[in-house]
Amino acid sequence: MTVTASSNRAVLPMLFTEVEVVAVERLSPTFVRVELGSAALADFGVDGPRWDQRIKLILPDPETGGITSTEDADGTWFATWLERPAAERGHMRTYTVRDVRGSGAQTTLVVDMVLHLEGDLVGPGSLWASRASVGDRIALLAPRRGFPYGGIEFTPGPGAELLLVGDETAVPAVCTVLEQLPDDATGTAFLEVPLAADVQDVRRPAGVRVVWLAREGADLGTGLHDAVVAHLDPGSSGVAGAEVQVAPDEVDPDLWETPFYSSSGEDVPGDVAGVGGTYAWIAGESKVVTGLRRHLVKELGFDRSQVAFMGYWRRGVAMKS
């Protein structure tokens, strides 16, 4: 590994560094696992469990290969970066830390990236993942040990029954959370993936059930919606297999409703749920998550402090960067 610690080490409260691909593994038709290294990752760290810790990758522009320099970045870098044309500065996308390996200057971050095999439009993230090879370089924004960074949304109250729900983009987050749970945790995870061949083995406590749902060409999110509704509300008279009933103009592509933040401007409790009850963490395509949010909040009366609903992507809409 030849990437050295960036010269902004002492300046920024987060890591903003160039990283190099040190390994690539095609896990399944839909998932590519990339391992990213840099001596600067010696300073990577989170205060407490990593849970669903998100990071940002800055990926080259597909046309020009333009990529961001992290050298000499200071507190103004983001505003300056945004002002430059994307063709020069690359594209920022959000991913999950699937694993952290090694230590010190040999620390690497593992990221599982989805290839958009079902869509006609392929974004810079998916495209880069499909071509990634050892030695490729991109830029990374990640937590620096000892500094607040945010980016962890999994905040169940003590003793909560867990409900973890995600499509393929949230599989890395849910699997990482499952691996970090205490042995006495209980609950169910529902994970929808494009193909049966995308189902993964995941370590989890004995009391947590994992249900994999393979679309195999069916509508996005329909199986997931039905499975979650049936799980929470076995007597429900919902029509199984019906398309998620949310009009396109009712979908906020940036849907983010947690106990601490509301993309729609609702009041937030700013605190985690009390002891017990069910805690729901739901992430994936924004329309699908909107449909589940309606069911949990409107039909079942879930309290805001017990839920996190996160639009990880929106069909037909490129992420902003």
Ligand X SMILES: Cc1cc2nc3c(=O)[nH]c(=O)nc-3n(C[C@H](O)[C@H](O)[C@H](O)COP(=O)(O)OP(=O)(O)OC[C@H]3O[C@@H](n4cnc5c(N)ncnc54)[C@H](O)[C@@H]3O)c2cc1C
Provide the binding-site residues for ligand X, judged by CB under 6 A.
54, 93-96, 112-114, 116, 118-119, 121, 123-126, 168-169, 172, 312-319
Dihedral (Cα; 264, 265, 271, 272), 10-degree rounding:
-10
In the bound state with ligand X, the residue whose beta carbon lies nearer, of 20 and 99, is: 99
DSSP letter for 182, please.
-
- If the CB atoms of residues 94 and 236 are measured against ligand X, the closer one turns out to be 94
Query: 209 forms bridges with which residues in the sheet?
Result: 188
* CA dihedral sign of residues 298, 301, 304, 309: negative
Nearer to ligand X, 54 or 225 (CB): 54
Output the smallest distance, CB 2 to ligand X, in A. 26
Q: Shortest Cβ contact with ligand X: which residue?
A: 123
Whose Cβ is closer to ligand X: residue 39's or residue 171's?
A: 171
End-to-end CA distance of the chain: 29
Q: Least distance in Å: CB of 320 to ligand X?
A: 8
Longest dimension (CA), the chain: 60
* Residue-by-residue DSSP string for 10-67: TT-SEEEEEEEEEEEEE-SSSEEEEEEE-GGGGGB--SS--TT-EEEEEE--TTT---
Q: How far is the CB of 301 from ligand X (least distance, A)?
A: 27
Cβ at position 41, least distance to ligand X in Å: 17
Output the CA angle 219-222-227, nearest 5 degrees.
150
* Residue 94 beta carbon to ligand X: minimum distance, rounded to whole angstroms: 4
Give 32 or 163: the residue with its C-beta nearer to ligand X. Answer: 32
